[in-house]
Amino acid sequence: MPTFAHLPLGRPIPDRPHAVSCSIPTMRDVIGYEEKDPATIQHLTSGYPRFLLHRFNQELAACIRDELNLGETQVWLTCSAAMARSLTAELGGAARRFTHEGIHGVAHAADAALTTQARRYLQNVGGFLGSREAEDQLARRGRRSVATETLAPLDTAADVVRSVLVDAHAGAAAADILLAPSGMNAFHGAWRTLADLQAERGRTVWIQLGWLYLDTIAQLKRFAPSPADYISLTDVNDLAGLQRVIAAAGDRLAGLVTEVPTNPLVHTADIARVAGMIQGAGGRVLLDPTLVSPFNIRLLEHSDVVVNSLTKYAANEGDVIAGSVIINPSGADATVLRERIAARLDPIYPRDLRRLAAQIPHYETTVQRTNESALQVVEYLHHHPAVERVWWSLQPATAENFAKIARRPGNIGSMISFTVKGPVAPVYDRLPLPKGPSFGMTTTLICPFIYLAHYDLVTSETGRAELAAAGIPPDLLRLSVGTEPTDEIIAALAAGLD
Report all structural domains of the chain as residue ranges with CATH numbers, in order of start. Answer: 12-21+363-497 (3.90.1150.10), 55-129 (3.30.70), 154-361 (3.40.640.10)
* pLDDT value at 12 more than 70: yes
pLDDT in tens, 65-102: 999 999 999 999 999 999 999 999 999 888 999 999 99
User: What percentage of the chain exceeds 70 in pLDDT?
Assistant: 99
* pLDDT value at 485 more than 50: yes
pLDDT in tens, 413-465: 999 999 999 999 999 999 999 999 999 999 999 999 999 999 999 999 999 99
* pLDDT value at 50 more than 90: no
Buried b (16+ CB within 10 A) or exposed e, 82-105: bbbebbbebbeeebbbbeeeebbb
Whether 322 and 310 have beta carbons less than 8 Å apart is answered as: yes
Q: How far is CA 374 from CA 258, 410, 421, 443, in A?
A: 23, 10, 21, 13
pLDDT in tens, 251-287: 999 999 999 999 999 999 999 999 999 999 999 999 9
User: What percentage of the chain exceeds 90 in pLDDT?
Assistant: 96
Phi, psi dihedrals of residue 103, rounded to the nearest 5°? -105, 135
Determine the Cα–Cα distance for residues 308 and 300; give it in Å rounded to an integer.
12
Could you tell me which of 432, 421, 439 has the C-alpha nearest to residue 381?
421
* pLDDT value at 326 more than 60: yes
Average pLDDT, the chain: 95
Determine the Cα–Cα distance for residues 1 and 55; give it in Å rounded to an integer.
32
DSSP designation for 5: -
* pLDDT value at 1 more than 70: no
Name residues whose C-beta falls within 8 Å of residue 231's C-beta, 6 or more positions apart in sequence. 205, 206, 207, 208, 245, 249
pLDDT in tens, 278-307: 999 999 999 999 999 999 999 999 999 999
Q: What is the pLDDT of residue 149?
A: 96
Q: What is the pLDDT of residue 472?
A: 96
Label residue 52 by pLDDT band (50, 70, 90). Answer: confident
pLDDT in tens, 353-384: 999 999 999 999 999 999 999 999 999 999 99
Q: Given the DSSP bridges, would you call strands 230-233 and 253-259 parallel, antiparallel or unpaired?
A: unpaired
The arithmetic mean of pLDDT across residues 328-342, rounded, is: 96
The length of the chain in residues reads 498
Question: pTM to 2 decimals?
Answer: 0.95
In degrees, rounded to 5, the angle at the alpha carbon of residue 469 between the alpha carbons of residues 464 and 472 is: 65
pLDDT in tens, 158-167: 999 999 999 9
Phi, psi dihedrals of residue 160, rounded to the nearest 5°? -60, -45
Q: How far is CA 56 from CA 9, 62, 126, 132, 446, in A?
A: 19, 10, 17, 8, 26
